[in-house]
């Protein structure tokens, strides 16, 4: 009775509290809007247009500098924001220029803080493999703390592009192929960057990019066109962007691609109808780099004036780097092609964010050299980076329990172009990260095994054809009890403008692997890469494979933790690994087709020369222990629209180690007005079990999880039979059906 009373009080209190908070937020928003209006009233048209321009700072051997013409523009109040400038002292110097203008509107400093700023965390695709939202949020939090301490206000992240084509180099910057997982991760990143208070000196404004559908570039070729149905767009590609905006992200970046013929930067359907009108986005939109200028190459604008007109009228507020807004908008207003109120709207959106960041109160708020000094690469940040890195590792194969390696091992050979490599560990888009501060695999192993004889050979370079280092590597392998073979792609082969037509290991690395294999020594392959690779031969021959992506500053320590059993791997693939490029696009949530694959029927949906199955399915990842999935049980076999179904399954750790498992729940709608995927991820739980322990897990399912865009494009559910599939990956599942009455 007492408990009940307390609970009721608690509920009343929390309702009042959240009402109070909401009231406070609404009041703050109104206050900010009033302040914005009062500033806007005092501005000339030229000053207004100036707020819509973002220019880069540069770097040469002598350090950071800003071009003469941009300095002039800042001094005339013709610049709203600068990117690629960081450092408390440097940003203060630039801010002072803005403070000497008539309006004294502070500059906004932006930068690509994608996976860490100074302390580099795993690349985003790797972090997604952790399926650990708290870890991902923490990573963004540390990045924001370091970035804000160096004068930055704004990061160009998170990238929320769903990517189903690993040829596209930018798969490394996102959360993989799945909409549900991608949406949760997008939210975690925004929360991490922005915290609860944008004005705090350890938060930065997030930028949701690249809006929209950039990840669907044809043939995986960067910047290529995207042509897709509105159903596919809304169902698969848009939800992660929306999730990030719902989590409070205050800015959005356009994408380079055209979508169904209209380049994103000139796309009013995306930037206004969807973003503002449907999603109620109140922040501002910035172009991706010179994409206003690129409208001319797309062939939708004849000149700089038309490109500017199309962009501003689409709802694009800030021009990154092309300088077209500064050049053209005044004239477009004078000739009546663009109204001044359209300019005002864009300015207001930008000023709002500057107010939210607290820049009008104190433009130097983030230019604190003391804070900068005590914040960057703190030991606790390095510790967090190591932990997130361990959580991002995926064990792809482990025959006969060759891993973890006993720490008593006498001699161990660490071979390959990634064995003593620091440069590539921090991956692409590693911001102000200094690769020379990263811990190589060799260093990590040596630190872990001070007593052992740790041998090293480079074996080969990453991408050339030279076999000159093979003989030494083979010799070294022969002397060791076990070989760690570190293979992969260079960081520059992933990220922007890094599409590949082959997913094989580059150079002669496969030949090196074959040579080492011929020695007969046990081998554990450590992969470093930013996308799925086609590694069929390794999967067939080598007993152990660890996918370590690019893990950042603490990579070597994190990998050693896993290799020697101080950490039991628990990562799961956020993207399918194909067997061959010819299978692409390949993702777990495909349709069944009218002629589902049948090995005995030539006229079924398959290839003549390869199986339909991927090498490793989405959600896949092993542990040093084993998990046994019990039978699925349902609270009911039939539910009505207002009911919630409870699904139970027991998971047992049947192995020898304590371990974590990501239990994944998929749903299939068996008959609907449109064909539905064979399964879709709808929930997951990451649990930890002691050896021998079991746990009963419960999932709740309501019509929310059963909804989709129906034949008439309305969003909702349809009654009928559904299948629930639960497992440790998207392939090996226990299944049960139920009916929605």
* Cα separation, 3 vs 688, whole angstroms: 30
Strand 523-528 relative to strand 482-488, pairing: parallel
Where would I find the beta strands (DSSP E) of 618-730? Answer: 627-629, 633-634, 638-639, 645-653, 659-669, 680-689, 694-701, 708-709, 715-716, 720-727
Q: What is the sign, positive or negative, of the torsion defined by CA atoms of 193, 194, 196, 197?
A: positive
Which residue in the shown chain puts its C-beta closest to ligand BGC? 156
The distance of closest approach from Cβ of residue 70 to ligand BGC in the complex, given in angstroms and rounded to an integer, is 16
Instruction: Decide if 290 contacts 256 (C-beta within 8 A).
Output: no
Instruction: Decide if 379 contacts 385 (C-beta within 8 A).
Output: no
Residues β-bridged to residue 698: 648
Question: Which residues are at the interface with ligand BGC (CB under 6 A)?
Answer: 112, 156, 209, 288-289, 496
The answer to whether residue 424 is catalytic is no
112 vs 424 by CB, closer to ligand BGC: 112
Neighbours of 637 (CB within 10 A): 10
The distance of closest approach from Cβ of residue 209 to ligand BGC in the complex, given in angstroms and rounded to an integer, is 6
The distance of closest approach from Cβ of residue 289 to ligand BGC in the complex, given in angstroms and rounded to an integer, is 4
Percent of the chain as helix, strand, coil, to the nearest 5: 40, 20, 45
From the list 194, 179, 106, the residue with the least C-alpha distance to 144 is 194
Using a 10 angstrom Cβ sphere, with 0-12 exposed, 13-18 middle and 19 or more buried, the burial of residue 565 is: middle
55 vs 289 by CB, closer to ligand BGC: 289
Annotated catalytic residue: which of 112, 178, 288, 669?
288
* Cα separation, 96 vs 100, whole angstroms: 6
Using a 10 angstrom Cβ sphere, with 0-12 exposed, 13-18 middle and 19 or more buried, the burial of residue 332 is: buried
Instruction: Decide if 566 contacts 455 (C-beta within 8 A).
Output: no
The distance of closest approach from Cβ of residue 697 to ligand BGC in the complex, given in angstroms and rounded to an integer, is 38
288 vs 680 by CB, closer to ligand BGC: 288
Task: Name residues whose C-beta falls within 8 Å of residue 475's C-beta, 6 or more positions apart in sequence.
Answer: 457
91 vs 589 by CB, closer to ligand BGC: 91
The distance of closest approach from Cβ of residue 205 to ligand BGC in the complex, given in angstroms and rounded to an integer, is 13
119 vs 428 by CB, closer to ligand BGC: 428
The distance of closest approach from Cβ of residue 156 to ligand BGC in the complex, given in angstroms and rounded to an integer, is 3
187 vs 428 by CB, closer to ligand BGC: 428
112 vs 705 by CB, closer to ligand BGC: 112
The distance of closest approach from Cβ of residue 112 to ligand BGC in the complex, given in angstroms and rounded to an integer, is 5
What spatial distance separates the first Cα and last Cα of the chain, rounded to whole Å? 37
Catalytic residue positions, numbered: 288
């Amino acid at each position: 009775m007492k408990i009940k009373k307390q609970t009721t009080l608690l509920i009343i209190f929390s309702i009042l509290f959240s009402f109070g908070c909401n009231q406070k937020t609404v009041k703050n928003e109104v206050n900010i809007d009033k302040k914005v209006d009062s500033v806007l009233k005092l501005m000339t048209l030229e000053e207004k247009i100036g707020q819509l321009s973002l220019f880069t700072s540069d770097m040469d051997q002598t350090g950071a500098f800003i071009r003469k013409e941009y300095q002039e523009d800042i001094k005339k109040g013709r610049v709203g924001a600068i990117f690629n400038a960081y450092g408390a002292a440097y940003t203060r110097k630039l801010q002072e220029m803005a403070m000497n203008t008539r309006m004294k509107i502070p500059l906004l400093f932006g930068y690509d803080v994608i996976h860490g700023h100074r302390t580099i965390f795993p690349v985003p695709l790797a972090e997604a493999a952790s399926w650990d939202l708290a870890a991902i949020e923490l990573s963004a939090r540390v990045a924001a703390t370091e970035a804000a301490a160096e004068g930055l206000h704004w990061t160009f992240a998170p990238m929320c592009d769903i990517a189903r084509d690993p040829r596209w180099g930018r798969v490394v910057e996102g959360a993989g192929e799945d909409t549900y997982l991608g949406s949760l991760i997008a939210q975690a990143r925004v929360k991490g960057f922005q915290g609860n208070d944008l004005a705090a000196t350890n938060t930065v404004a997030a930028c949701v990019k690249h809006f929209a559908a950039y990840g669907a570039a044809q043939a995986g070729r960067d910047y290529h066109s995207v042509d897709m149905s509105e159903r596919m767009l809304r169902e698969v590609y848009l939800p992660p962007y929306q999730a990030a905006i719902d989590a409070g992200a205050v800015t959005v970046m356009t994408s380079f691609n055209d979508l169904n013929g209209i380049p994103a930067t000139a796309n009013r359907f995306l930037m206004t109808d969807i973003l503002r009108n449907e999603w109620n986005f109140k922040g501002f939109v910035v172009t991706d780099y010179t994409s206003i200028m690129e409208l001319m190459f797309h062939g939708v604008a004849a000149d700089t004036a038309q490109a500017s007109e199309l962009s501003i009228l689409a709802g694009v507020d800030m021009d990154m780097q092309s300088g077209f807004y500064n050049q053209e908008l005044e004239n477009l207003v004078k000739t009546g092609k663009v109204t001044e109120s359209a300019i005002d709207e864009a300015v207001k959106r930008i000023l709002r964010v500057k107010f939210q960041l607290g820049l009008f109160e104190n433009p130097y708020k983030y230019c604190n050299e003391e804070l900068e000094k005590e914040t960057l690469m703190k030991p606790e940040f390095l510790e967090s980076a190591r932990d997130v890195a361990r959580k991002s590792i995926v064990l792809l194969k482990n025959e006969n329990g060759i891993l973890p390696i006993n720490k008593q091992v006498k001699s161990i050979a660490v071979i390959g172009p990634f064995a003593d490599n620091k440069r590539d560990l921090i991956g692409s888009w590693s911001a102000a990260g200094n690769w020379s501060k990263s811990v190589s695999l060799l260093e990590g192993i040596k630190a872990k095994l001070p007593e052992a004889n740790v041998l090293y050979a480079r074996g080969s370079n990453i991408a050339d054809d030279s076999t000159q280092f093979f003989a030494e590597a083979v010799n070294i392998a022969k002397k060791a009890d076990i070989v760690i073979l570190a293979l992969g792609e260079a960081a520059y082969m992933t990220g922007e403008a890094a599409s590949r037509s082959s997913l094989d290991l580059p150079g002669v690395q496969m030949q090196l692997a074959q040579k080492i294999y011929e020695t007969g020594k046990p081998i554990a392959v450590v992969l470093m890469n930013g996308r799925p690779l086609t590694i069929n031969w390794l999967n067939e021959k080598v007993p152990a494979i660890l996918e370590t992506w690019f893990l950042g500053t603490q990579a070597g320590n994190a990998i050693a933790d896993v290799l020697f059993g101080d950490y039991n791997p628990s990562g799961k693939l956020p993207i399918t690994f194909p067997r061959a490029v010819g299978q692409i696009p390949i993702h777990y949530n495909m349709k069944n087709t009218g002629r589902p694959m049948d090995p005995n029927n030539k006229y079924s949906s398959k290839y003549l020369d390869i199986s339909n199955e991927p090498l490793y399915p989405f959600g896949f990842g092993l542990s040093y222990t084993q998990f046994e999935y019990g039978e699925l049980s349902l609270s009911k076999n039939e539910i009505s629209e207002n009911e919630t179904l409870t699904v139970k399954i027991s998971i047992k750790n049947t192995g020898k180690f304590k371990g974590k498992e990501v239990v994944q729940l998929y749903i299939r709608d068996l008959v609907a007005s449109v064909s539905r995927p064979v399964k879709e991820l709808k929930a997951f739980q990451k649990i930890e079990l002691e050896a021998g322990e079991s746990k009963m897990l419960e999932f709740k399912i309501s019509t929310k999880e059963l909804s989709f865009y129906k034949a008439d494009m309305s969003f909702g559910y349809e009654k009928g039979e559904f299948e629930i599939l639960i497992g440790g990956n998207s392939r090996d599942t226990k299944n049960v059906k139920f009916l929605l009455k």
